[in-house]
């Protein structure tokens, strides 16, 4: 790569805005979070005492934390699998019809632009007890829907709203991945007598694995963090903590419960978790994926 | 092709169209609900067809202060627009400059700067929310546009994408420019920026959506309705302690909240898809 070499000051001028913003709004708060995790703040915010790892042991010993962890895992699996399976099915169909694939893409892409909180509100209306259309349909089937009381249904609500929004993102990638698969491979298999089902599982699906893996990571990150808006606008972690994910718990303990030390410790644990996921993505899983 | 089966094609179209309808259902119901008045909404289940209010509910939320919000939705739309544009433009500008420095210059500590910037890719704002809030409060940024915008610019997604793109620029271009006597600023302005036009458009779409759809940060940092964004306002509209949820107003506001980002994604779809697929590389 050719470069400018004799300019000593220019690169620093160019970098200054980015470095300043990152320092003030990223490193400083991240360092604060780490520091805070080792202190206990007194309830009036007047002082704090160093407690070493007590915040962590307290968090890791609480049943609430493991419950939130379990809920986060269940929620992420639900969202990632739901959004990916649905997107893959539709992408495969859109890919095979050829005529209209582009039109379907245009018509399916827009939910991606809808804010998670707005998606949650739209679904909450459809499933509102007494008022909602879908909850009325479910009622006719004998299912008494009330996500304000039933934890499982509250979870289903946020999963559906999140899947609805995320599906279009996955669809775009799966369609692009499918269109990149050489037609000759599929034709050869067809001539050898493989039916559509067999062709999909032995050719298409393995060739899509890089896309699928990338999407799995993106969907997990989405389910972990971006769905905060969906959860807060619809169930607010309830009923009885049935939709309280790890991120929601950080928010709740920090801003509602004012337990700053615990909230910070949870933040640090989350950072470690995300770091681990990223590492896993780069080091381990990527090699196993067939290209 | 030999293996085409017309029967399967028809079935595929049928499933796709069904899926499309199912995907549009939430928005359709929101639209029909927004054209009813509250009394008729609460008499039966949600209507599948329009009511007698026409666009009256939209007009009233846009022009009159909405109960529980203390301001009209026009103001909220303005706030969201300022925030989304601020984040999109701010990110793109600082990213172009920073990526330019990292790719086209050699200077001491370059690798360190690279890592300092790119480590931010790993931690979304939700994770460091408490201390960031504290810092924003210390800097007097609560209830201000700067407070809404600046902390959300502190991630390196855009910088990373520009870096990837700059690495594909042929080195001969830089050499030719240098031979012709162009300095770094000239090269950036006359050669690099015109080349990055589509990347800038793609990033603009992605960052605009990112900014518009933010939830947690604006929720924390805006306590006054003058700076509240429209996405955050929905929760306030819904939280009714005593009386019934005004679904017609909620749905009108929700539709107004999704209109600008959906318009951006539909109008700039070409760039958006390109931006997404580039981000993967």
The minimum CA-CA distance between B187 and chain A, rounded to whole Å, is: 10
CA distance A133 to chain B (A): 5
pLDDT of residue A160: 92
* Interface contact A267-B129, CB threshold 8 A: yes
Among the listed residues B97, B210, B215, the one whose alpha carbon sits nearest the alpha carbon of residue B162: B97
Distance CA(A99)–CA(A142), nearest Å, equals 41
Checking if the pLDDT of B37 tops 50, the result is yes
Calpha distance A235→A81 (Å, rounded): 22
Chain A residue at shortest CA distance from B219: A229
Q: How close is the nearest chain A Cα to the Cα of B46, in Å? A: 5
Kindly report the number of other CB atoms within 10 A of residue A1's CB atom: 10
B86/A269 Cα distance (integer angstroms): 32
User: For position B275, what pLDDT does the model report?
Assistant: 65
Count CA atoms within 13 Å of residue B91 on its CB side.
31
Inform me whether the pLDDT recorded for A55 exceeds 90.
no
DSSP H/E element including A48: strand A48-50
Q: Is the Cβ pair A25, B153 closer than 8 Å?
A: yes
| Contact in structure between B13 and A99 (CB atoms under 8 Å) | no
CATH superfamily of A63-288: MetI-like (1.10.3720.10)
* Model pLDDT, residue B278: 58
Check whether B42 has a pLDDT greater than 80. Answer: no
Contact B143, B222 (CB under 8 A): yes
What are the residue boundaries of the structural domains of chain A, listed by start?
63-288
B154 contacts A118? CB cut-off 8 A:
no
pLDDT digits (tens, 9 = 90+) for A161-210: 999 999 988 998 898 888 888 888 888 888 888 888 888 898 888 888 87
* Residues of A with Cβ-Cβ distance to B97 under 8 angstroms: 14-15, 17-18
Instruction: Select the residue of A86, A115, A278 nearest B231 (Cβ to Cβ).
Output: A115
Which residues in chain B are closer than 8 Å to A233, comparing Cβ atoms? 215, 234-235, 238
- Residues A110 and A101: their CA atoms lie apart, in Å, by 15
Q: With 90 as the cut, is the pLDDT of residue A85 above it?
A: yes
**Does B252 score more than 70 pLDDT?**
yes
Residue A262's Cα: distance from chain center in Å? 23
Distance of residue B25 Cα from the nearest chain A Cα, in angstroms: 9
| Whether the predicted pLDDT of B71 surpasses 60 | yes
Residue B138 scores a pLDDT above 70 = yes
Asked if the model's pLDDT at residue B185 lies above 50, the reply is yes
Q: How far apart are the first and last CA of chain A?
A: 29
CA distance B221 to A135: 35
* Close Cβ partners of A27 (under 8 Å, ≥ 6 residues apart): B116
Q: Which chain B residues are Cβ-neighbours of A132 within 8 angstroms?
A: 45-46
Answer whether the bond into residue A239 is a cis peptide, omega within 30°. Answer: yes
Instruction: State chain A's mean pLDDT as an integer.
Output: 83
Query: Does the distance separating the beta carbons of A109 and B265 come in below 8 Å?
Result: yes
pLDDT at A133: 83
Contacts of A203 in chain B (CB under 8 A): none
Whether B216 and A228 lie within 8 Å, measured CB to CB = yes
Q: Give the pLDDT score at B167.
A: 86
What pLDDT, in 10s, does the model give residues A206-250? 888 878 887 888 888 888 888 888 998 888 877 888 888 888 888
Residue B105, phi then psi, degrees to nearest 5: -125, 150
Helices (H) and strands (E) in chain B, counts: 16, 0
Chain A with chain B: Cβ pairs closer than 8 A:
296
Of the partner residues A90, A106, A131, the one whose CB lies closest to the CB of residue B41 = A131
ipTM value of the model? 0.85
| Range in A74-88, A213-227, A268-282 with the lowest mean pLDDT | A268-282
Domains for chain B: give ranges and CATH numbers.
55-280 (1.10.3720.10)
What proportion of chain A, given as a percentage, has pLDDT over 70? 93
Share of chain A above pLDDT 90, in %: 14
- Tell me the pTM: 0.86
Is there a contact between A128 and B178 if contact means CB atoms under 8 Å apart? no
Residue of B nearest to A98 (CA): B9
pLDDT at A3: 78
């Amino acid at each position: 790569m050719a470069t400018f070499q004799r300019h000593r000051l220019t690169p620093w001028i160019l970098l200054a805005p980015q470095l300043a913003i990152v320092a003030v709004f990223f490193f400083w708060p991240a360092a604060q979070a780490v520091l805070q995790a080792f202190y206990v703040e007194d309830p009036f915010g007047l002082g704090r005492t160093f407690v070493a790892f007590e915040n962590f042991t307290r968090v890791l010993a609480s049943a609430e934390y493991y419950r939130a962890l379990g809920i986060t895992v269940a929620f992420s699996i639900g969202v990632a699998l739901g959004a990916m399976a649905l997107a893959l099915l539709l992408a495969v169909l859109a890919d095979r019809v050829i005529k209209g694939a582009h039109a379907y893409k245009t018509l399916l892409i827009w939910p991606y632009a809808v804010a998670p909180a707005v998606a949650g509100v739209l679904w909450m209306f459809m499933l509102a007890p007494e008022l909602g259309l879908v909850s009325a349909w479910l009622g006719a089937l004998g299912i008494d829907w009330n996500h304000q009381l039933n934890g499982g249904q509250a979870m289903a609500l946020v999963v559906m709203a999140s899947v609805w929004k995320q599906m279009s993102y996955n669809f775009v990638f799966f369609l692009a991945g499918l269109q990149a698969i050489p037609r000759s491979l599929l034709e050869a298999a067809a001539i050898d007598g493989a039916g559509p089902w067999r062709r999909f599982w032995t050719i298409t699906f393995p060739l899509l694995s890089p896309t699928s893996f990338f999407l799995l990571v993106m969907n997990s990150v989405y389910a972990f963090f971006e769905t905060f808006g969906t959860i807060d606008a619809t169930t607010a972690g309830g009923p009885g903590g049935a939709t309280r994910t790890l991120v929601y718990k950080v928010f709740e303990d920090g801003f509602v419960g004012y337990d700053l030390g615990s909230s910070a410790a949870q933040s640090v644990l989350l950072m470690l978790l995300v770091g681990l996921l990223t590492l896993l993505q780069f080091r381990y899983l990527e090699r196993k994926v067939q290209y | 092709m030999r293996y085409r089966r017309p029967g399967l094609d028809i079935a595929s179209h049928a499933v796709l169209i069904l899926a499309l309808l199912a995907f549009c259902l939430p928005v359709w119901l929101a639209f029909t609900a927004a054209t009813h008045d509250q009394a008729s909404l609460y008499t039966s289940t949600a209507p599948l067809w329009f009511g007698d209010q026409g666009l009256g509910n939209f007009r009233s939320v846009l022009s009159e202060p909405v109960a529980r919000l203390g301001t009209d939705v026009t103001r909220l739309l303005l706030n969201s627009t300022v925030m989304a544009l601020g984040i999109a433009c701010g990110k793109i500008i600082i990213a172009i400059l920073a990526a330019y420095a990292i790719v086209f210059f050699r200077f001491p500590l370059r690798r360190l700067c690279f890592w300092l910037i790119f480590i931010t890719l790993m931690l979304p704002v939700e994770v460091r929310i408490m201390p960031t809030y504290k810092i924003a409060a210390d800097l007097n940024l609560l209830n201000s546009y700067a407070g809404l915008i600046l902390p959300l610019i502190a991630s390196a997604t855009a910088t990373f994408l520009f870096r990837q793109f700059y690495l594909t620029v042929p080195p001969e271009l830089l050499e030719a420019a240098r031979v012709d006597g162009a300095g770094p600023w000239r090269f950036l302005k006359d050669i690099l920026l015109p080349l990055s036009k589509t990347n800038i458009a793609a990033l603009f779409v992605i960052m605009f959506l990112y900014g518009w759809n933010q939830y947690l940060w604006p929720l924390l940092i805006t306590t006054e309705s003058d700076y509240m964004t429209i996405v955050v306002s929905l929760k306030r509209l819904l939280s009714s302690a005593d009386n019934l949820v005004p679904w017609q107003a909620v749905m009108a506001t929700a539709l107004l909240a999704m209109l600008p980002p959906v318009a951006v994604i539909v109008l700039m779809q070409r760039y958006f898809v390109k931006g997404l697929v580039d981000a993967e590389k």
